[in-house]
Structures are given as structure tokens and as C-alpha cells.
Amino acid sequence: MNKTMPTEISLEALVAGDRAEFARLVDAYSSPIYRLGLRMLGDPQDAEDVLQNTFLSVLTHISEFEGRSSLATWLYRIAANEALMLLRRKKPEVNLDDVEAADEAEDLLPTQFVDWSALPEDELLSGEGQRILDGAIATLPESMRLVFLLRDVEGLSIRETAEALNLTETNVKTRLLRARLFLRERLSTYYGGHMSHEE
């Protein structure tokens, strides 16, 4: 997890109310938390609300942090909750606990079998390619998207993702697999067409 934790944050100092240390914590985690909010809500103002509410909640609850998970996992847990609360308020129609749907294997089955994996990096990461990827992530069902963002974008482990989202590791694995296959299918549709176009 050191990827997002550039310097060690002192929990003792935080609990003691050390404001400089709290400022360091905010700077260490505000970018990933803002990104998470942006990807979950799709709106900068909402992402900013998630960000502010997360750290306000951290301030209130830091003394209750028991250290059973890492500080980072705990932060992501709060941020994910804030994002979900806002999502429920903004889009009450969204089903966030579609575990049953997530366990149905049928729509797992790939339909695109063009191997675009050898396309050059600069083509895949072009503005257009990035737009396709971002668009595909944005259309992931919310319950899968959150798992995918924590695991594959922010780099938490399966266990940390499960802790942050209050899911079982099996649930996390199932949703992650589905998310990855969903994105693969979207990219394959795009690059498959792309490749046959160039022939």
C-alpha cells in the first residue's frame, strides 16, 4: 500500500489532534479519494462532497480507529461509504447490492475474440483509447465498479478491498472478475472493429 502512502503517517499524532499530521494525511489521500468519488458519482461537485465528508468523518472518528485494518483501508472504507450514501440519495434506482446478479455466470461469457492485445501501447493509450476505457469504467454497474476501482485502480489487495467494502473475499473476487470481463468485452468491441477497419 505504500504506493499511496509516501511517508509514514503517525496514528498517535493524529489521535492526539496534531493538525500538521492531519494535513499530511489529507494531502496523502485526497487525490485517490477524489478520483474514487469522481468515478463513482461522475460529477466534480459530488466528488468534492465525498472528499470533504470523508475527512470530516475521519476527524470525528479517528479516536475510534482500532488498527485492525491499515489506516489506508480504513480511509477507503469511509470514502466508499460516503460515495455510496451520496449515490443512494442521488440515484435511488441504483441497486448496490446486486449480489445475486453478480453471481449469475451467464453474462460472464465473452462474445468478442479478437486479439487486440498486441496493439502498440501508444495507440491503446491515445486520447481516444483512454476515452473508451474511461467510458467503459463509467458504465460498469456500481457494485462492481467500486470493487474494481479499489482493487485495480487504487491497488488494494483482495482482502483490503473486502475489508473496505464489508464484503467477503469471495464476493470481491466474483465482482472483480465480472468487472474485468465487462471491460475487456467493451474494449474488444472497440479495438476489434478498429483492427478489421485497418486491414
Partner 1 sequence: MTEHAHTDCEKMLGFLSEYIDGGLNPELCQEIEKHLAGCENCRVVLNTTKRTIDLVHAPVEKPDLPEDVRARLFKRLNLDDYLKPK
Q: H/E element holding 159? A: helix 158-165
Pick the stretch among 10-18, 52-60, 69-77, 89-97 that binds partner 1 (CB under 8 A): 52-60
Closer to partner 1 by Cβ: residue 75 or 93: 75
Residue 9 in the binding site for partner 1 (CB under 8 A): no
> Residue 89 and residue 87: Cα distance in Å, rounded?
5
The letter for the amino acid at 100 is E
Cα separation values, 5 from 9, 97, 109, 126, 155, Å = 8, 30, 38, 29, 12
Q: Which of 39, 129, 164, 190 binds partner 1 (CB under 8 A)?
A: 129
Closer to partner 1 by Cβ: residue 8 or 107: 107
Residue 105 in the binding site for partner 1 (CB under 8 A): yes
> Residue 50 and residue 42: Cα distance in Å, rounded?
12
> Residue 78 and residue 163: Cα distance in Å, rounded?
11
Q: Which of 43, 108, 123, 159 binds partner 1 (CB under 8 A)?
A: 108
> Residue 174 and residue 170: Cα distance in Å, rounded?
6
> Residue 26 and residue 33: Cα distance in Å, rounded?
10
Pick the stretch among 21-29, 80-88, 92-100, 160-168 that binds partner 1 (CB under 8 A): 21-29
Residue 194 in the binding site for partner 1 (CB under 8 A): no
Q: Which chain residues interact with partner 1 by CB under 8 A? A: 19-20, 22-23, 26-27, 30-31, 34-35, 44, 48, 51-52, 55-56, 59, 105, 108-110, 113-117, 121, 124-125, 129-130, 133, 137, 152-153, 158, 173, 176-177, 180-181, 183-184, 187-188
